[in-house]
Amino acid sequence: MAIFDDIKRVLGDALQLGERAGELEKDTPLLGNIPELDSMAVVTVVTALEDYFDIFVEDDEISAETFETVGSLTRFVSEKMTG
């Protein structure tokens, strides 16, 4: 659960969501649901995740499925951290 909470924190900071970050759940849709998450913001979020979790994300690893929900993004980061 800690990674999920960290993901929410990173999303909130990177997208400047303020109090709305606390409302994010695992099934909360990201792309198309959060107006702040446009194509430029995806780059900002990926960079923030790389810095926070000390991971490296290749350009070809970023997909709509990765950013489908907060849960899918959490799974992606978890997989990057373990392997």
Please state the domain extents for the chain: 2-17+28-82
- Where does 2-17+28-82 sit in CATH, by number? 1.10.1200.10
Q: Can you give the chain as a three-state secondary structure string?
A: CHHHHHHHHHHHHHHCCHHHHHHCCCCCECCCCCCCCCHHHHHHHHHHHHHHHCCCCCHHHCCCCCCCEHHHHHHHHHHHHHC
Share of the chain above pLDDT 70, in %: 99
pLDDT tens, 49-72? 999 999 999 999 999 999 999 999
Average pLDDT, the chain: 95
pLDDT of residue 83: 78
